Amino acid sequence: MRRLRAWLLRFSGMFQRRRRDQDLTEELEGHLRMHIDDNLRTGMTPEEARRHALIRLGGIESIKEDYRDRRGLPLLEGLVRDLRFAFRTLRRNPGFSLIVIITLALGIGANAAIFSAVYGVLLRPLPYQDGGQLVVLHQQAPAAHLSNVPFSVPEIFDYRQYSHTLNAVVEYHSMDFLLLGNDSAERVKSGIVSANFFDALGVRPLLGRTFVAADDSPNADAVIVLSYQYWQRHEGGEANIVGRVYQMNDRPHTVIGVLPPIPQYPEENDIYLPTSACPFRSSPKVIADRSMRMMTAFGRIKPGIPLASAQADLAVVANQMANQHPDSYPKEYGYALAADPLKQDLTRHARTTLLVLLGAAGFVLLIACANVANLQLARLLTRGRELAVRAALGASRARIIRQLLTETILLSFTGGALGLALAYPTLTLLVRFAARFTTRAAEVRIDPMVLVFTLAVSVISGLVFGLVPALSLGSRVSDALKQDSGQTTSSSGRQRLRTGLVLMQVAVSFILLIGAGLMIRSFLRLEQVDPGFNPDHVLVLNLSPNYSRFPKDEQQAETLLLGDNVLRALRSLAAVESVGMTSTFPLGQGTMARGPDSNRFQIEGRVVSQGELQPFTDATGVSPGYFETIRQPLMRGRMFSERDDGKAPNVAIINQTMVRHRWPAQDPIGKRISFDGGKTWITIVGIVGDAREYGLDHAIGDEVYVPMKQAGFSGGLVVRTAIDPEQMVSLVRKTIHDVDSQIAVDQVDTLERLRHESVASSRVTAILLGIFAGLALLISVSGIAGIMALSVSQRTRELGIRMALGQPKPSVVFMVVRQGLVIAMAGTVLGLAGAGALGRLLSSLLYETSPTDVLTFVAVSLIFVAVAALSCFVPAHRVTRIDPFAALRQE
Amino acid sequence: MTDKTDVWQGTLSLMVLKTLDTMGPLHGYGIARRIEQISGDLLSVNYGTLYPSLLKLEQEGYVTSEWGVSDNNRRAKYYRLTRTGRKQLEKEAEQWGQATAILARFLSPEEKPI
From residue A182, alpha-carbon distances to A499, A509, A559, A741, B52 in Å are 77, 63, 21, 11, 88
Within a domain: residue A492? yes
Cβ distance A517 to A862 under 8 Å? Answer: no
Span A844-859, mean pLDDT? 86
State residue B2's pLDDT score: 39
Distance from C-alpha of A46 to C-alpha of A39, rounded to nearest angstrom: 8
- Which helix or strand (DSSP H or E) is residue A337 part of? strand A336-341
A277 and A313 both lie in a single domain: yes
Report the residue of A24, A27, A55, A62 to disrupt the B interface, i.e. the one with the largest count of B CBs within 10 Å: A27
Lowest-confidence region among A256-265, A601-610, A681-690, B20-29: A601-610
Among residues A244, A236, A239, the alpha carbon closest in space to that of A206 is found at: A239
Q: Are A31 and B49 in contact (CB < 8 Å)?
A: no
Radius of gyration of chain B (CA): 17
B54–chain A nearest CA distance, Å? 10
Q: Are B77 and A10 in contact (CB < 8 Å)?
A: no
Distance from C-alpha of A574 to C-alpha of A578, rounded to nearest angstrom: 10
Q: Are B76 and A27 in contact (CB < 8 Å)?
A: yes
Radius of gyration of chain A (CA): 38
Q: Are A2 and B77 in contact (CB < 8 Å)?
A: no
A251 and A176 both lie in a single domain: yes
DSSP bridge pairs for A185: A180
State residue A734's pLDDT score: 93
Cβ distance A29 to B70 under 8 Å? Answer: no
Is pLDDT larger for residue A351 or for residue A10? A351
ipTM reported for the complex surpasses 0.90 = no
Lowest-confidence region among A422-426, A550-554, A595-599: A595-599
pLDDT tens digits, one per residue of A530-573: 999 999 999 999 998 887 788 878 888 899 999 999 999 999 99
- Which helix or strand (DSSP H or E) is residue B8 part of? helix B2-23
A303 and A390 both lie in a single domain: no
A578 and A641 both lie in a single domain: yes
A388–chain B nearest CA distance, Å? 29
Name the residue among A6, A30, A38 with its Cβ closest to that of B75. Answer: A30
A558-570 in b/e form (b: 16+ CB < 10 A) is ebbebbbebbebb
Domain count, chain A: 4
State residue A385's pLDDT score: 75
Last residue within a domain, chosen from A49, A72, A95 = A72
Q: Are A63 and B52 in contact (CB < 8 Å)?
A: yes
pLDDT tens digits, one per residue of A97-120: 888 898 899 999 999 999 999 998
pLDDT tens digits, one per residue of A265-322: 778 899 999 999 888 888 888 888 887 888 889 999 999 899 999 999 999 999 999 8
A66–chain B nearest CA distance, Å? 6
Highest mean pLDDT among A146-155, A175-184, A341-350, A724-733: A724-733
Last residue within a domain, chosen from A707, A742, A777 = A742
For residue A442, pLDDT over 90 is answered with no
Q: Are B29 and A30 in contact (CB < 8 Å)?
A: yes
Q: Are B55 and A58 in contact (CB < 8 Å)?
A: no
For residue A228, pLDDT over 50 is answered with yes
State residue A421's pLDDT score: 92
B69 to chain A: closest CA residue: A30
Span A739-743, mean pLDDT? 88
For residue A878, pLDDT over 80 is answered with no
List, as one string, the DSSP characters of A118-187. Answer: HIIIIISPPSSTTGGGEEEEEEEEGGGTEEEE-B-HHHHHHHHHH-SSEEEEEEEEEEEEEEE-SS-EEE
Name the residue among B48, B59, B72 with its Cβ closest to that of A34. Answer: B72
Question: β-strand A682-688 against A672-674: which pairing, if any?
Answer: antiparallel
Which ranges in A236-383 belong to alpha helices (H)? 284-288, 307-324, 342-382
Q: What is the mean pLDDT of each run of 10 residues along chain B (114 residues)?
A: 51 88 90 83 73 87 88 86 92 88 82 56
Distance from C-alpha of A601 to C-alpha of A619, rounded to nearest angstrom: 10
B49 to chain A: closest CA residue: A63
A66 to chain B: closest CA residue: B52
Which ranges in A446-588 belong to alpha helices (H)? 448-471, 492-528, 555-571
Cα dihedral across residues B82, B83, B87, B93: positive or negative? positive
Span A397-401, mean pLDDT? 81
Average pLDDT, chain A: 85
For residue A462, pLDDT over 90 is answered with no
| Residues of B in Cβ contact (< 8 Å) with A40 | none
A558 and A667 both lie in a single domain: yes
| Residues of A in Cβ contact (< 8 Å) with B33 | 38
DSSP bridge pairs for A672: A683
- What does DSSP assign to residue A238? -
pLDDT band (50, 70, 90) for residue A182: low
Distance from C-alpha of A159 to C-alpha of A169, rounded to nearest angstrom: 7
B67 to chain A: closest CA residue: A27
Q: Are A31 and B72 in contact (CB < 8 Å)?
A: no
State residue A487's pLDDT score: 43
A430 and A519 both lie in a single domain: yes
Cβ distance A546 to A715 under 8 Å? Answer: no
Architecture of the domain spanning B2-107: Orthogonal Bundle (1.10)
Cβ distance A742 to A549 under 8 Å? Answer: yes
Span A853-869, mean pLDDT? 88
Last residue within a domain, chosen from A742, A777, A798 = A742
B24–chain A nearest CA distance, Å? 18
Report the residue of A7, A31, A38, A52 to disrupt the B interface, i.e. the one with the largest count of B CBs within 10 Å: A31
| Residues of A in Cβ contact (< 8 Å) with B74 | 30, 33-34, 37
State residue A552's pLDDT score: 78
| Residues of B in Cβ contact (< 8 Å) with A74 | none
Distance from C-alpha of A541 to C-alpha of A538, rounded to nearest angstrom: 10
A603 and A664 both lie in a single domain: yes
State residue B8's pLDDT score: 63
State residue A685's pLDDT score: 96
A554 and A642 both lie in a single domain: yes
Residues 6 or more apart whose CB falls under 8 angstroms from that of A440 comprise A120, A121, A124, A263, A346, A347, A350, A434
- What does DSSP assign to residue A295? B
For residue A488, pLDDT over 50 is answered with no
Distance from C-alpha of A248 to C-alpha of A187, rounded to nearest angstrom: 10
State residue B44's pLDDT score: 61
Cβ distance A633 to A688 under 8 Å? Answer: yes
pLDDT band (50, 70, 90) for residue A223: very high
Cβ distance A679 to A727 under 8 Å? Answer: no
A443 and A493 both lie in a single domain: yes
List, as one string, the DSSP characters of A198-231. Answer: HHHHTPPPSEE----GGGGSTTSPPEEEE-HHHH
pLDDT band (50, 70, 90) for residue A663: very high
Q: Are B51 and A63 in contact (CB < 8 Å)?
A: yes
| Residues of A in Cβ contact (< 8 Å) with B55 | 67, 70-71
Span A591-613, mean pLDDT? 69
Q: Are B48 and A58 in contact (CB < 8 Å)?
A: yes
Within a domain: residue A91? no
Report the residue of B6, B27, B51, B71 to disrupt the A interface, i.e. the one with the largest count of A CBs within 10 Å: B51
A461 and A607 both lie in a single domain: no
A365 and A502 both lie in a single domain: yes
A158 and A195 both lie in a single domain: yes
Strand segments (E) across A797-847: none
| Residues of B in Cβ contact (< 8 Å) with A62 | 48
Q: What percent of chain A is predicted at pLDDT more than 70?
A: 94
B113–chain A nearest CA distance, Å? 45
Show the domain range for A38: 2-72
Q: What percent of chain A is predicted at pLDDT more than 90?
A: 30
For residue A35, pLDDT over 50 is answered with yes
Name the residue among A6, A27, A35 with its Cβ closest to that of B59. Answer: A6
B75 to chain A: closest CA residue: A30
Is pLDDT larger for residue A381 or for residue A121? A121
